[in-house]
A and B are shown apart, each in its own frame.
Chain A
Amino acid sequence: MVETIGRVARGSLESFGAAGNLTAEAVRSLRDVSTWWPNFSQQARKLGVDSLPIGILIALFTGVVLALLASYSFTNAVPRYLVGTLVQKTVMMELAPVLTGLALAGRVGANIAAELGTMRVTEQVDALETLAYNPIAYLVTPRILAGIIMFPVVVGVAMFVGLGAGWAASLLLLDLSTPEFLKGARWFFDTFDVRYGLVKSASFGFAVTVLGCVNGLRARGGAQGVGAAATSAVVQSAVMILVLDAFWAMVWLLGRAK
């Protein structure tokens, strides 16, 4: 049992250490623009644009549920226009980044790990090196850049859709008027809310793509190894998203609350 715990701990630390090394190599390979640039838009489309439907779907239902939940929770002592405040704050600062990030962790993280894992076990990565291609610049850097840039795009759209869904639910299901909802949404609105959500989602994109690449490039032993790599990538990405969520809350919200 002790041996098992030690093995798991070592494996986790190795993953994070490998992620650090990979990040450092990816940053160094940024200079090799001609290698990573052609792949960037393809990865951006695959990781970001193609993920928009899942992000929009999540935000749509989240906004509706939040509006109903707020209306259910508020008693007569609380003005109804605070439904707008709750929807705006919660969607922009927490639910849109985190739920979208978790969904993309499954979709993007697994995709990257499976793709790179397959290339690793079929020795395509070795072939790139043989052809004098820098595999990090060719495979990892465009994915990390695409994750960092496109995650905020997906989350931004999710914010907009979530707020709109909450607004529509308030109008159609809660008998709340548009001025009332907007009054609540505008009351405590701060541009910081948007910045906070977007920066957080960029960090999620970075974590998901890096962990996907690390687990994919470390895949061994054929299809089974590729499956294990995809599973590890998803699990580690989900955990890392929650850790980063708490990290940003402590760094930004705690300071502002004081």
Chain B
Amino acid sequence: MKQRSNDWIVGAVIIATMVLIVAATLFLQEADLGEKRTGITARFRDVGNMQVGNAVVIRGVRAGRVKAISLAPQGWVVAEMDLDEGIVLPSDPVVLIQASTLFGEWQALITAREAAPTIRDVVTQLSDVTGAPPGALAGAVLPDIAQLTTYAGGIAGNVASVAERVRTAFNDSAALELRASIRNFSVLSNDLARAVRVQSRNLDSIAVHIRAGAADLAITTEALRRTAGRADTATSNGEITRIVAETERASSNLRQATERLNALSEALMTTEQSLKSVITKADGVLGKVDRGEGSLGLLVNDPSLYRNSDSLLIDLRVLIQDFKKDPKRYFALRVF
């Protein structure tokens, strides 16, 4: 009896555990037992990271799952998807494969063709029908976050490279030079503006003068025209010949005067040379005097000598007066 009881209990536990494990597995696998599903297929050139079991989504709502993925002729990949019962597809449907999370989970999104993103690559994939499997919906893979970060990484690298070059080119000294250049450019601009203003005024003045000159030229032309008219009349009276002769004489006189002036100029140059020589010598003498060289220099530059000389003169003057007053004091003439 006990043996049978053991058998029954052990058998029941084993069976119950097996049922439990199978049920839990089916539950976690989201397996459908007897549920009716609609099957569709879609064609892709590449399915990215999509795997069997990934969700099929319509307008953000889970509507089924990917049943199978297989390679097809002419470079196609065919994905079979099971949709829940009663699901209605949008008009002209296409299937877009995309990452649903940042953690590598992908999904198949069924949407209308006109609602698909107008990314050039996606449009190209959707319109590709070369050797497409019959009856399969058009499909495309949207770029995932890894691709986007790859592109962004490349862009960031380029920006970093440019920034590094800028940093290398524009160091502190370059910045200082650039600042000085900007300051110089500012000064230059101000000068240029000032010059332009001045030149503008000058141009205005020139224009006025030109205008006046043109008027004078017109007057002169008119005078010339009149002179020409008079010349015509003068030519006929021999006045021109006389004028020419007088001009020749005047020219001869002028030439002689010029020659005299040249001679005078040469003499003046000689005098100037002599004067320069005298000045140089005088300058040398004065320099010696100034430096205290020679007697005169010593006398001029040595105050003690001056004072001694002055003292000697005073003493000499006193001596002479004393001599005049009493010569005998200095001469003792004895005959015997």
Contact of B29 among A38, A44, A82, A186 (CB under 8 A): A186
22 A-B Cβ contacts within 8 A?
A41-B3, A41-B6, A41-B7, A45-B10, A48-B10, A49-B9, A49-B13, A79-B103, A82-B103, A88-B28, A149-B14, A150-B14, A153-B17, A156-B17, A157-B20, A159-B24, A160-B20, A160-B24, A163-B24, A189-B29, A194-B21, A194-B25
Q: Residues of A with Cβ closer than 8 Å to B? A: 38, 41-42, 44-45, 48-49, 52, 79, 82, 88, 149-150, 153, 156-157, 159-160, 163, 185-187, 189, 191, 194, 198
Q: Does B101 belong to the interface (CB within 8 Å)?
A: yes
Given contacts A44-B10, A45-B6, 17 further A-B contacts (CB under 8 A): A38-B3, A41-B3, A41-B6, A41-B7, A42-B6, A45-B10, A48-B13, A79-B103, A150-B10, A150-B14, A153-B13, A156-B18, A157-B20, A159-B21, A159-B24, A191-B25, A194-B25
Q: Is A186 within 8 A of B3, CB to CB? A: no
B28 near A79: Cβ-Cβ < 8 Å: no
Smallest distance from the beta carbon of A57 to chain B beta carbons, Å? 17
Nearest-CB distance from A148 to chain B (Å)?
Answer: 12
B13 cross-chain contacts in A, Cβ below 8 A: 48-49, 52, 153
Using a CB-CB cutoff of 8 Å, which residues 23-40 of chain B contact chain A? 24-25, 28-30
Q: Are B17 and A157 in contact (CB under 8 A)?
A: yes
Question: Hey, which chain A residues are within 8 Å of B30, CB to CB?
Answer: 186
Chain A residue nearest to B8 in the complex (CB): A41
Q: Does B164 make an interface contact (CB < 8 A)?
A: no
B105 within 8 A of A: yes
Which size class do B's interface residues fall under? 10 to 19
A186 smallest CB distance to B (angstroms)? 5
Closest 7 CB pairs of A and B: A41-B6, A44-B10, A189-B28, A41-B7, A153-B17, A45-B6, A156-B21
Find chain B residues with CB under 8 A from A41 CB.
Answer: 3, 6-7, 10
Contacting residues, chain B, for A194 (C-beta < 8 A):
21, 25
Q: Which residue of A lies closest to B105 (CB)?
A: A187
**B10 is contacted by which of A38, A49, A79 (Cβ under 8 Å)?**
A49
Contacts of B21 in A (CB 8 A): 156, 159-160, 194, 198
Q: Which residue of chain B lies nearest to A161 when distances are taken between CB atoms in the complex?
A: B20
The CA-CA distance from A48 to B17 in the complex, in Å, is 12
CA A185 to CA B18, docked complex, whole Å: 20
